[in-house]
């Protein structure tokens, strides 16, 4: 009997290193699981109603880590779920992050996965994500915003870092997405504030700044009724100057809901896909789009008669624009 027990003990001791190696292998982060941190205001929170084409999405290659508990949906903070909206908080809907992830998995090889962590707060200034000054800012904000922030334990930056550290056990953080600025639309220090948050994230999560791009989406253009459109030309262009690995994502042509700040479903779709296009290009999965124009000044154009001394052109209703402005119908009625 003693021999049998001794044999069993020795057998267990012999295979124990195998279990240890196996467990270590299982806990190693997947280098093909790309994770992106997301922060911003209401457009980033996501309030777009799903179009018919969006309703059946259920691809496990695109996941999100819940940054808050979602009891009505059976989701727990700190766990991964297939990115079926809402992926920010209960009560939200579709946004740029959804369309970013869906476009990413369309282009990435089949063995790659995408994960996102979205910690966004409607109406919030960028100061809310400053690890040192957030409390002074939120203490003086409106009650409804405080209620949102309370879902993140009162400190959105700390919650984002906590979730990101959990996520790093499973994959690799490859970038940061941001859509914020409406509440800082006249703040010339906004680029420096963003850089401070970015630097803190890189330090706290041990990220290499050269390998961690930050993509910042523009605000609504004036053509879409955006009251903060000047931010796109006066403040946002300075971001890459103070943060070299920052890239601006155009919102030109992104459809509006009709109000002064928010994008429609199609507007968010286009913006999110532009986020993905740029990230894919930066990470080597999509070539940068280039357009070329070849000029040959030494080559003659069409031959012109030597007797031609000029040309008469009557510009009616801006027809010189190339037909962009339609002429009045009466101009084509015989006898008028």
The residues carrying an active-site annotation are 42, 259, 262
Please give the Cα distance from 236 to 219 (Å, whole number): 9
Sole residue written with tokens 């779709």: 269
Residue 65 pairs in a beta bridge with 80
DSSP letter at 28 equals S
- Maximum Cα–Cα distance across the chain: 120
Specify whether the backbone of 138 is left (phi greater than 0), alpha (psi in -120 to 50) or beta.
alpha
160 φ/ψ sector (left φ>0, alpha ψ -120 to 50, else beta) = alpha
Using DSSP's 3-state secondary structure scheme, residue 306 falls into coil
Do residues 277 and 96 touch, judged by C-beta distance below 8 A? Answer: no
- Separation of alpha carbons 135 and 125, rounded Å: 12
Chain center to CA of 253: 17
Residues 6+ positions from 302 with CB-CB distance below 8 Å = none
Rounded CA-CA distance 171/148 in Å is 28
Map residue 94 onto helix, strand or coil: strand
């Amino acid at each position: 009997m003693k021999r049998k027990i001794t044999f069993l003990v020795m057998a267990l001791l012999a295979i124990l290193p195998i279990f240890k190696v196996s467990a270590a292998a299982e806990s190693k982060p997947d280098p093909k699981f790309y994770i992106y941190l997301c922060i911003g205001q209401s457009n980033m929170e996501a309030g777009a109603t799903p179009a018919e084409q969006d309703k059946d999405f259920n691809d496990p290659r695109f996941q999100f880590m819940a940054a808050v508990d979602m009891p009505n949906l059976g989701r727990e903070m700190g766990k991964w779920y297939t990115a079926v909206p809402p992926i920010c908080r209960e009560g939200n809907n579709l946004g740029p992050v959804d369309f970013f992830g869906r476009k990413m998995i369309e282009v990435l090889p089949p063995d790659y996965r995408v994960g996102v962590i979205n910690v966004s707060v409607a109406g919030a200034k960028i100061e809310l994500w400053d690890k040192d000054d957030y409390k002074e800012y939120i203490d003086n904000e409106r009650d409804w915003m405080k209620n949102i922030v309370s879902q993140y334990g009162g400190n959105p930056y700390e919650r984002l870092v906590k979730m990101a550290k959990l996520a790093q056990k499973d994959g690799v953080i490859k970038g940061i997405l941001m859509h914020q600025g409406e509440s800082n639309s006249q703040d010339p220090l906004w680029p420096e504030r963003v850089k401070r948050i970015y630097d803190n994230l890189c330090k706290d999560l041990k990220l290499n700044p050269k390998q961690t791009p930050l993509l910042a989406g523009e605000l609504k253009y004036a053509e879409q009724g955006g009251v903060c459109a000047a931010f796109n030309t006066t403040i946002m262009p300075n971001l890459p100057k103070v943060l070299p690995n920052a890239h601006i994502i155009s919102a030109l042509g992104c459809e509006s809901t009709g109000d002064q700040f928010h994008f429609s479903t199609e507007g968010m779709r286009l913006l999110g896909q532009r986020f993905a296009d740029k990230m894919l290009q930066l990470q080597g999965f999509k070539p940068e789009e280039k357009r070329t124009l070849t000029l040959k000044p030494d080559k003659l154009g069409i031959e012109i008669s030597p007797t031609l001394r000029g040309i008469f052109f009557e510009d009616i209703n801006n027809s010189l624009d190339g037909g962009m402005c339609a002429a009045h119908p009466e101009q084509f009625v015989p006898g008028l």
